[in-house]
Amino acid sequence: MFSIGARMQKKFLNEKVRNFPASNKSLSEKGYRNFALIEGKLSSDSIDDVILRRGSARRFDDLSIDFEDLSIMLHSATRVIPADFLPSGLPALNEIYLIVNAVDGLRAGSYFFDRRQDTLVLLKEGNFRREAGVLGLGQELAADASVNVYFLSNLEKVQSVFGNRGYRAAQLEAGIMGGKLYLGAYSQRLAASGLTFYDDEVISFFEPHANGKEVMFLVLLGRRKNSRSPSWNCTLKLNSSPFYQFGDQV
């Protein structure tokens, strides 16, 4: 049971949260290429089977996955989260950015996921495997994976609404979406892994679109590799890595 004060505070929060993240309508107006997600369904495997199969991949093959599978994973991970800080029930505190290394039907490059439109917006086309590996704390599995999915949050805005609770709420929301990505991946008989990252460098990589945001979580998606030899060498030093030259990224 809420007191009147608590109800008013909740109403205030709900109105504020509804207003962010900021609308990205202008992206298509600015001429960015959009790729609508392909409609598809998760496999008919039961949740019990998927959970039993789930387990973070330690290595990924550098093979591609289908755009349809990526679409299904993104769509299913960004549906309703029942939480008191999400008035519409939909995730609102994080935005999703991707490095697409190898997806059949999609160009390699960096993307923003406009989840209101279920559309991927191409920020910059190119092969960014090496950069993905460096950003993922120099771990080759980030370069090998088909896709790197980053959750970014504008913490300043979030904290202006929630105070100190904001960081925890943003982390929780990213963690839940990350967990759903895992389930989606193993439902489609693919693999996933949660990874750590170089915070500031990730924001630089996705600049200027990601300006003002901070990284909450990273999930890799792709095909599990069983052999022990890495496909990519990501032992680049940060200050010599090529992504520092990407200041001109859209």
Ligand X SMILES: Cc1cc2nc3c(=O)[nH]c(=O)nc-3n(C[C@H](O)[C@H](O)[C@H](O)COP(=O)(O)O)c2cc1C
Report the distance separating Cα 193 and Cα 224, nearest Å: 10
The minimum distance between CB 160 and ligand X, in angstroms, equals 25
Binding segment for ligand X (CB under 6 A), chosen from 6-14, 23-31, 166-174, 193-201, is: 193-201
The size of the interface with ligand X (CB under 6 A), counted in residues, is 9
Instruction: Find the part of the chain contacting ligand X (CB under 6 A) among 76-84, 104-112, 165-173, 190-198.
Output: 190-198
Q: Shortest Cβ distance from residue 217 to ligand X (Å)?
A: 6
Site string for ligand X, 136-175 (x = CB under 6 A): -x-x------------------------------------
| Residue 98 or 191 having the CB closest to ligand X | 191
- Of 114 and 173, nearer to ligand X (C-beta) is 173
d(C-alpha 111, C-alpha 17), whole Å:
24
Distances (CA, A) of 162 to 86, 174, 211: 11, 16, 21
Alpha-carbon distance of 70 to 67, in angstroms, equals 5
Give yes or no for a cis peptide into 82 (omega within 30° of 0). Answer: no
Residue closer to ligand X by CB (options 34, 56) is 56
Residue 175 burial (CB count, 10 A): 16
117 burial via Cβ count (<10 Å: 0-12, 13-18, 19+) = middle
- The reply to whether 196 sits near ligand X by the rule CB under 6 A is yes
The footprint of ligand X (CB under 6 A) covers: 55-56, 137, 139, 193-196, 217
